[in-house]
Amino acid sequence: MTTACAARIKAEIKDLLYVQRPEMVKTVAWAASNGDRSENADYIYGKKRLREIDRRIRHLSKRMDAAIIIDPVSQKAVAGERVLFGCTVTIENEDAEQKVLSIVGVDEIDSVRGRISWVSPMGRALLGSSEGDVVTVKTPNGNREYEVVEVAYQPLD
């Protein structure tokens, strides 16, 4: 994952641990003090929400433990002129339409902003290519060819 994604995940973990979870613990304690817990909706919902928060914290912590964090700017030294993880690449299709895509991790996919996963068909086709290369992408409608117009390594927010 990129450094921006790692920062977002760390911020979410911090919010869950130090803001949301303590608030929910207070709510559950208040609901428990009201008496019968078997028909107490606040208590039942609060316990369910605490389990959801704990599950999300575990999931995010495991993602961070397994992640290799890569800074797109420093990746240029390794990549040279080739497309690698963290790269922002401009491609052109057969109709001379250009797209700007960034190769990111699966936690960062955002098609509106042009962020594609490195494991997507387009991402896999682009990895290792250089400016001027033509890559073939297998799509449900058949193979499509794209020319790599520009390769850049810039910060992703």
What is the total residue count of the chain?
Answer: 157
pLDDT band at 155 (very low <50, low <70, confident <90, very high): confident
* Region(s) of the chain under CATH 1.10.287.180: 3-66
- % of the chain exceeding 70 in pLDDT: 100
pTM above 0.85, yes or no: no
Name the nearest CA neighbour of 93 among 131, 149, 142.
149
The CA-CA-CA angle for residues 58, 63, 66, to 5°, reads: 120
| pLDDT for residue 94 | 84
- Does domain 3-66 bear CATH number 1.10.287.180? yes
Topology classification of domain 72-152 = Chitinase A; domain 3 (3.10.50)
Rg of the Cα atoms in the chain: 22
75-87 per-residue burial string, b: 16 or more CB within 10 A, e: under 16: bbeebeebbbbbb
* Region(s) of the chain under CATH 3.10.50.30: 72-152
CA atoms within 13 A on the CB side of 156: 34
Which tens digits make up the pLDDT trace of 44-103?
A: 999 999 999 999 999 999 999 999 898 888 888 888 889 999 899 999 988 888 999 999
Q: 1 and 60 in contact (C-beta within 8 Å)?
A: no
